[in-house]
Amino acid sequence: MDKKTAVSFFNEQCIVPIKEIEKKTGGRDMPMRRQAWNDYCDMLYKDGQITNKQRMNWDQPLSCK
């Protein structure tokens, strides 16, 4: 899997629910977004969808900055 595809899936699967939580708390929770990205990359690695090199070298997507 390339990073563009991973970010697209991440934004659909993870950021959308995070935005719902943020609506209730009143602001962007950047630590939660960054942790979600790290957890997502770990899951992709453990499932064999990305290499360890990809997991270690991909920076946070714009939705986490």
Helix (H, G, I), strand (E, B) or coil at 23: helix
Please report the pLDDT score of residue 36 as a whole number: 98
pLDDT of residue 12: 96
pLDDT of residue 5: 98
> Which residues contact residue 34 at a Cβ distance below 8 angstroms, ignoring those fewer than 6 apart?
60, 64
Q: Report d(CA 15, CA 64) in Å as an integer.
A: 9
pLDDT digits (tens, 9 = 90+) for 6-61: 999 999 999 999 999 999 999 999 999 999 999 999 999 999 999 999 999 999 99
Domain boundaries, the chain: 3-57
Per-residue pLDDT tens over the stretch 51-64: 999 999 999 999 99
